[in-house]
Amino acid sequence: LDDTSARSASVYQVITDRFARPSSVSSTCTTSDRKYCGGTYSALIEKLDYIQGMGFDTIWISPIVENIGGTTGEGEAYHGYWTLDADKTNDNFGTADDLKSLSTALHNKGMYLMVDVVVNHVAATSSSTFTPSSSYGQFSSSDDYHPFCWITDYSNQTNVEQCWLGDDSVALADLNTDSDTVKNYWNNWVKELVSNYTLDSVRIDTVKHVQKDFWPNFVSSAGVFIQGEVLNGDPTYVSAYQSDAKVNPFNYPAYYPLTRGFNQTGGDLTELVTMTQTIKNNFSDPTLLGNFLNNHDNPRFESTVTDTSLIKNAHAYPFVTDGIPYGYYGSEAGFTGGADPDNREPLWTANYDTSSDMYKFFASLNAARKAAGNASDSFYTNQMTVSSLSSSSILVAKSPLISVLSNSGSSASDASVTVQSSASGWSSNTEVIDAISCETLTTDGSGNLAVTVKTGLPRVFIASSQKGSVCSSS
Ligand code: ABC
Ligand code: CA
């Protein structure tokens, strides 16, 4: 994918080990054990209809490289982030050919493959005794590593870049990304990775732990769309990675105000409104940010919020906003796991149910976004306007998709708000449809739309003439 095609993608994130496993495996998967549970590429291939049926077209899988074996004080490397030899694959997930089959199967369905990559570190079981060896493939010399020190000061960028993540159980030996040997290795490696497995995009781990000037060559060597993890809520800090490092970040700056805005009835939505403007001011291109509500590093939103209307409004935001939406597996199944490792539940326990309310909800959101993109060439590149409609609702105007999100909760009585034609772009007497309820409404003689928020649900409107497959099954 290039930037243009990446903007129209909708990504479903899986933990490869937890998404699907062969039916021959029946052991209990207990998240707190932090052990491999048996998920494979081959089993994932059998479930592509499940993912595509929700309207997602791209699958982000866990890192694919060989990891340290055995167990540690933090369990096994089931998540894939504990690299041993980046030139080998993690055979717990299948063979390299199985991975190629996954890529082919996706492409045959018009879908895309995104692989997670870690270049900042490899894993050692103990910091004090770590000695590079040939087990680490090309990184067998101490010159390939930054000397040991723990990251202790996140306000000191040199400390963040050159010291080590992890702890005494699993030290993440920090690669010397300042060395030409290490740089050249990774640039060639990512080029071959993309080519060997015909990847469409790449997710980069721990971006802020590698000096910015490492990234532009790595990104151009990959040659495909890149979304990178800069785990920080500060828009100024994060935006520098888009402009200087050429890595499009996940939208952590929006994530925190998003969760705070919708995690309780009557919460403050102004922080999110203000942040969307700050993001527009800071980032060179907000339409390439990666938006998410849940992921594998944070407690699921549903671990602290039980109101289904609040949950739906919060989940709607990434799909109706500027940037690329990311759904995290299990949200559609109502999973409620808290912090790592509890947020990495096995999906097979939920039986890949396509009839659940949340499964259909994600399908509705993806259909609405797709219809807007099909209706307007500039939908993906035009920047939205977010404004306050009432103390409990905001307008996300990204023409031709016009959304009203509320945090009044499912027990709220009906509330009326007005979407002005100046914000929506709708003319007089235009019929619009809400992709969530499938209710149709018509604008008045001035093009304004009177909207009733019912039981606190999100409203995601598009003109009926542009609705495409929206509400086609009801
Ligand atoms: C293991 C255990 C966990 C245990 C942990 C200590 O060790 O499983 O139960 O709690 C992988 C695995 C993890 C594993 C780790 C460490 O490796 O998935 O299960 O945890 O062995 C990426 C990946 C992540 C991955 C790694 C390592 C990196 O997405 O899945 O973890 O390859 C930092 C990094 C970030 C990293 C994250 C886990 O840690 O920067 O790249 N994620 C502050 C810091 C952040 C820091 C974050 C969490 O805390 O600034 O740098 O992330 O520790 C906002 C602020 C932020 C602040 C947040 C908390 O609040 O703006 O700056 O983030 O308001
Ligand atoms: Ca580093």
Q: What is the pTM of this model?
A: 0.98
Q: How far is the CA of 270 from the centre of ligand 2 (A)?
A: 36
CA 467 to each of CA 368, 371, 421: distance values in angstroms, whole numbers, following the listed order = 7, 6, 19
Q: Token digits for 65?
A: 């490289």
Sequence-ordered list of residues with C-beta below 8 angstroms from that of 186, at least 6 positions apart, any chain: 119, 177, 218, 221
Phi and psi of 215, rounded to 5°? -75, -40
Q: What is the pLDDT of residue 450?
A: 98
Catalytic-residue membership of 229: yes
Ligand 1 closest atom vs CA 341: 9
**pLDDT, position 354:** 98
pLDDT per residue as tens digits for the range 118-163: 999 999 988 888 999 999 999 999 999 999 999 999 999 999 999 9
Catalytic residue among 17, 161, 200, 229: 229
pLDDT at position 129 is 84
pLDDT score of 87: 98
- Low-confidence residues in the chain, pLDDT < 50: none
Is 230 exposed, middle or buried (CB count within 10 Å of its CB: 0-12, 13-18, 19+)? buried
According to the model, what pLDDT value does residue 30 have?
98
Question: Is 98 an annotated catalytic residue?
Answer: no
What is the structure's pLDDT at 127?
82
Average pLDDT in the chain: 98
CA distance 327 to 292: 6
Instruction: Give 80 Cα–ligand 2 centroid separation in angstroms.
Output: 18
Could you give the ipTM of this predicted complex? 0.98
Query: What is the best residue among 231, 232, 342, 343 to mutate for testing ligand 1's pocket, by most ligand atoms within 8 Å of CB?
Result: 231
Query: In this structure, what token pair is assigned to residue 8?
Result: 């129209």
Residues within 5 Å of ion ligand 2 by Cβ?
120, 161, 174, 209
Distances (CA, A) of 463 to 39, 316, 356, 363: 42, 18, 27, 18
List pLDDT tens digits, range 264-281. Answer: 999 999 999 999 999 999
Rounded Cα gap, residues 10 and 52, in angstroms: 10
Q: Is ligand 1 within 6 A of the CB of residue 283? A: no
Nearest protein CA to atom 27 of ligand 1, as residue: 81
Dist CA 156 CA 426 (whole Å): 49
CA–CA separation, 399 and 463 (whole Å): 10
